[in-house]
A = this chain, B = another copy of it.
Amino acid sequence: MNSRIRVCLLGAGRAAKVHANSLVAHVPAGELVAVVDPEEEVLQTTADEFGIRGRFASLEEALEGAEFEAVVITSPTFTHKDLAVAAAQARKHILLEKPMALNLEECDAISAAVEKGGVILQLGFMRRFDPDFTSAAERIRAGEIGQPMMIKSLTHGPGLPPPWARDLRTSNGNIAEVNSHDWDCVRWLVGANYQRVYMQVANFKGEARGVDTENYYDNALVNIRFENGSLGSISSVCPCDYGYDARVEIVGEKGIMQIGELKGQAVVVCTNRDRGLVTPIYGTWPQRFEWGYIREMEHFITCIQTKTQPKVGGEDGRWAVAGVLAATKSFLEERPVYMQEVL
């Protein structure tokens, strides 16, 4: 067997814990040796929970104080570029959470550093590793539903994102933070790049929740035309309150395919004929994509061990960011935007 790949988490928040759990409990080929977070309490809590020895306030300190081959970046989007570039320069392999970065210049800087550093860059699009989605993708590739003509992808998240994640200046808002997965998904499943993008937004809950950020929206509906003529939509509702919801529906020349469902557990109960049947819903993304996160980490570690390129990398991350930029421009300028305007 290959020797275990030592990993340092950059960021100790919620997503970091999901990856820590994969490394500690389900990916024995990886070894979680260090974690970095500038917030001392978050750092210690996560480190304690997963028994991580190396605890650092910055990547620089971690590079000095611990030995590892790879990093997993889960810090806020506006920190991605600097951290990823620094990690690549230090020749650490990178699993980078979505969205890749704030803009294409940052994406390009990351990719350049990764290439120069000779390291692996895998984007955190875990749907590419979810059993439902991967099986669906294979069946589409095999021609089962024919050429995709129309794809609809949605991600609705239950709770209000943190301030930085709903401010266009620090994150590009929900269509980036919540829906990066959809941008990647539709491109992956249709097998073509976006050509033209149109987005309309709405703000229904902001005021009641004390959000006064400029251009804030909590609902967005994107209309996409792909280079191959296919049509697509992405819908974003966050906070939707009712649960975590991630589904895709594709109509191909030969048929229809639905991926995912609202139901979160195969337990149905009825105790009141006026209320009806009750079935659990997915409440959170770690719950919905439990296996996706494990398989994603396995893939990352295996790619490092076998020196192969991951199935989803910088180019995919960059396209998702480009879609976000075009969609944002579209809603601000109230018109469809061609990708060449932002690429």
Contact = CB atoms under 8 A, between A and B. Distances in A.
A136 B267 contact: yes
A267 B259 contact: yes
A258 B253 contact: no
Contacts of A255: 241-242, 269-272
Interface string A256-274: 1111111111111111111
A243 interface: yes
A40 interface: no
A23 to B, nearest CB: 10
B281 A132 contact: no
Interface in A63-90: none
Contacts of A158: 273
Given A198-B198, A255-B272, A256-B262, A147 B204 contact: yes
A126 B146 CA distance: 32
A198 B51 CA distance: 53
A244 B278 CA distance: 16
Nearest to A156: B251
Given A242-B271, A263-B277, A276-B281, A223 B205 contact: no
A120 interface: no
Contacts of A231: 200-202, 219-221
Contacts of A215: none
A116 interface: no
Contacts of A224: 200
A135 interface: yes
A334 interface: yes
Contacts of A268: 257-258, 262
Contacts of A28: 24-25, 28
A152 B152 contact: yes
A277 B273 contact: no
Contact of A242 (B51, B198, B243, B256): B256
Contacts of A269: 139, 144-145, 255-258
A310 to B, nearest CB: 20
A179 interface: no
A214 B268 CA distance: 35
Most chain B beta-carbon contacts within 10 A, residue among A237, A255, A261: A255
Given A273-B283, A335-B335, 17 more contacts: A135-B265, A147-B204, A156-B251, A200-B225, A200-B336, A202-B229, A241-B253, A241-B254, A242-B270, A243-B273, A243-B276, A256-B271, A258-B262, A258-B269, A264-B276, A276-B279, A277-B281
29 contacts: A1-B51, A28-B28, A135-B265, A145-B271, A149-B204, A150-B219, A150-B237, A158-B273, A196-B200, A200-B223, A200-B336, A201-B231, A205-B253, A223-B223, A240-B256, A242-B251, A242-B271, A243-B270, A243-B276, A245-B256, A257-B269, A258-B269, A261-B266, A262-B277, A263-B277, A274-B283, A276-B278, A276-B281, A334-B336
